[in-house]
Amino acid sequence: MTSHNDDYSLLAPGPVNLHPEVRKALALPMIHHRTPEFDKILKRVLTNIKSVFQTQEDVFLLTATGSGGMEALLVNILSPGDKIIAIVSGKFGERWAEMAKVYGAQVTIIDVPWGETVKVSDVEELLKKNPDTRAVLCQACETSTAVAHPIEQLGALIKNYPETLFLVDAITALGAYPLPMDAWNIDGLVAGSQKAFMLPTGMAFISFSQKAWKIIDKATCPRFYYDIRREKKANSGGETYYSSNVALIRALDVVLNMIATQGLEQLFHEIHRRAEFTRRFGQMLGFTLFAKSPSDSVTALRVPAHLDGQKIRLHLEQVHNITIMGGQDQLKGKVIRVGHMGYIRDAEMLRLIDCLGYTLRHFDPDSITLEHISNISMEAKNWLEQNP
């Protein structure tokens, strides 16, 4: 199996390579969650995670995938019939709009062409006509297209609408690049364990602003598992309401300690550097950038028109032990997506560029010479040394 080899690289936009210290934490013997030993860890995690959200508000740990966290943001602020503006610029925007519909909201979709960012003026126009809108939904990074949306500007707009909350899916953004919840007027924020938080899949982290808390108590949408009021009460007593996800919370403790030690700035710098590297050398190999305003979390490279991105992806995995992702839906076969989050060493990035070169040659020997690949490889190595 590919993953049992030492040289296996998981360069997807989540799940991601795990840091050796995280793997160690995941291998520890199980302990019960209602114990002083775990209570200490939970307390530390609930405090430290706020610094990644850059918020004074409480952050909640849900045992759910990222989508569960998206649902939790919605069900706690919605009442049936509420007006919702959903910015849909790819797969995950579609999912959130669908969820809001399922819970009985009147959803107006702002359809953003894949690869582009939302125009703040489009949101403003809709809000002016509908100042009673309950919430605006947006991905910080739409992982399916690798686009980063203008969250700061949207937050500055929406804060002027007292009835409207700004909910942000930051599952591939929070912890990857700056997204200060309080400073940017975000009212509901969700992050995911297997993406920027560098853990296995299985947890979502969410937080609400004071503006949102005023709505939470009035909202009438049915909710049980995700009723955040239960969790808030339990957390204030030093516990989680349901069984705590001991294994992932212990691993999260390790990640948060690493982030605290190196600093958020340094973490963002490392991810930005990988993104720069991939954009630069991906283009040198003959790919073009798909996103107009590319996110640092993930790069979408458009493959040359006569080649199939799905085949490139598969070849890279089967022959070179590197997993990246292909395109979804309308982008299937047209792009490959490389994730920059998680534990990634320079050698892996270099290997990715080399192996992408060999893979291009495998499918089209005329597209690139071995000499060209080796020149790009040299240049890539130099770039990494000159840009620590």
CB of 69 to ligand PLP, least distance (A): 8
Q: Is 145 in the site for ligand PLP (CB under 6 A)?
A: no
Residue 299, SS3?
A: strand
How would you classify the pairing of strands 106-111 and 83-88? Answer: parallel
Among 53, 92, 208, 226, binds ligand PLP (CB under 6 A): 92
Q: Which stretch binds ligand PLP (CB under 6 A): 62-70, 76-84, 150-158, 314-322?
A: 62-70
Query: Hunting for tokens 């649902």 — which residue is that?
Result: 71
Q: Is 106 in the site for ligand PLP (CB under 6 A)?
A: no
Cβ count near 181 (within 10 Å): 26
- Nearer Cβ to ligand PLP, position 167 or 360? 167
Binding to ligand PLP, residues 200-219 (CB under 6 A): 201
CA pair distance 277, 346, nearest whole angstrom: 10
Among 67, 79, 108, 377, binds ligand PLP (CB under 6 A): 67
- DSSP assignment letter at 11: B
- What is the secondary structure of 123-137 as a DSSP string? HHHHHHH-TT--EEE
Binding to ligand PLP, residues 168-187 (CB under 6 A): 169, 171-172
The strand order across the sheet containing 325-326 reads 288-289, 298-302, 335-339, 325-326
CB of 295 to ligand PLP, least distance (A): 10
Give the closest residue to 196 by CA, choosing from 274, 271, 95, 115: 271
Q: Is 14 in the site for ligand PLP (CB under 6 A)?
A: yes
Q: Is 65 in the site for ligand PLP (CB under 6 A)?
A: yes
CB of 203 to ligand PLP, least distance (A): 9
Q: Is 66 in the site for ligand PLP (CB under 6 A)?
A: yes
- What is the secondary structure of 313-329 as a DSSP string? HHHHHHHH-EE-EE--G
Give the closest residue to 205 by CA, choosing from 74, 86, 65, 92: 65
| Footprint of ligand PLP (CB under 6 A) | 14, 65-67, 92, 139, 143, 169, 171-172, 192, 195, 201
